[in-house]
Chains A and B, each alone.
Chain A
């Protein structure tokens, strides 16, 4: 879990924060989103511990996201434990994508099933009410 400052030039016009984006799991939505769907990151292309963001370049402080289930060595994601699952859904009830949470493919597959089961028995919302 080494904090690595990965400078990355972004082609995305506007909207990207010039200051180091918060990289707190799924809540820091933008930093996760900007990593794109998978793909090898240009890590270590530019050495140096970040420092203040330079003008004209968009630098990000990105924490390497690790699958939480792999860390805990989970073999079965229980749909009955709704508290665990709530951290993997959006406020309105959507399932968060892998690129936001850092969940590995295998666990995301199990997680999806578990969330859908929990929804069916009203432990989790399909769509949050206003």
Chain B
């Protein structure tokens, strides 16, 4: 099966020491590698104000992870671990590879069109400003 890409975001209590957060990250990394997947990127966004209160807290420590896996079981295990971790108050996993693939496709499509355009628009460019002007005059 082809590889899938997931965005994993979790929020820790703001008063957790940095070491505990690192511990959570380490356990997640361990699980991921154990299951034959990998973490492409880990990004600590730091303390942020949440848009609404979660567990009566207004702030949270956001951690973002980019997980690549060809096995859905990994996500299941990760979410279980996050649920168990005391410091974590909220988490979310989203599969993003299909949307990114779509983005790639659109980008390629646009580039191809842009490459083709120059000779096409040169004759068409002449009447275009004229029509614009008339439109503005109206």
A residues adjacent to B (C-beta < 8 A): 2, 44, 47, 73, 75-76, 79-80, 117, 119-127, 129
**Is B26 on the interface with A (CB-CB < 8 A)?**
no
Q: Report B-chain residues with C-beta under 8 Å of the C-beta of A73.
A: 110
A2 to B133, CA, bound (A): 10
B102–A76 CB distance below 8 A:
yes
**Assuming A122-B11, A122-B50, A125-B51, is B107 touching A75 (CB within 8 A)?**
yes
Q: Mark interface residues in B108-134 (1 if CB within 8 Å of A CB, else 0).
A: 001000000000000000000000100
Indicate the member of A2, A47, A119, A127 with the most B CB atoms within 10 Å: A2
- Of the A-B pairs whose beta carbons lie under 8 Å apart in the complex, a sample of 13, sorted by A's number, is A2-B135, A2-B136, A73-B110, A75-B107, A76-B100, A117-B92, A121-B11, A121-B92, A122-B11, A122-B51, A122-B60, A125-B51, A125-B52
Chain B residues with Cβ below 8 Å from A76 are: 99-100, 102-103
Cα A121 to Cα B51 with chains together (Å): 9
Chain A contacts for B54, CB-based, 8 A: 122
Majority DSSP secondary structure for residues of A touching B: loop
User: Which residues does chain B contribute within 8 Å of A124, judged by CB atoms?
Assistant: 51
The contact of A123 among B51, B110, B136, B138, by CB within 8 Å, is: B51
List, in ascending order, chain A residues with CB within 8 A of B7's CB.
80
Tell me the smallest distance from the CB of B49 to a CB of chain A, in Å. Answer: 9
Interface hub of A119, A123, A124 (most chain B Cβ within 10 A): A123
A126–B92 Cα gap in the complex (Å)? 16
The digit string for B92-108, where 1 denotes a CB below 8 A from any CB of A, is 10100001101100110
Inter-subunit contact A121/B103 (CB<8 Å): no
Chain B residues, CB < 8 A from A129: 52-53
Known contacts A117-B94, A121-B90: A75-B102 contact under CB 8 Å = yes
**Residue of B whose beta carbon sits closest to that of A44:** B138
B6 at the interface (CB under 8 A from A): no
* Distance of A120 Cα from B52 Cα, bound (Å): 10
- How far apart are the CA atoms of A122 and B99 in the complex, in Å? 22
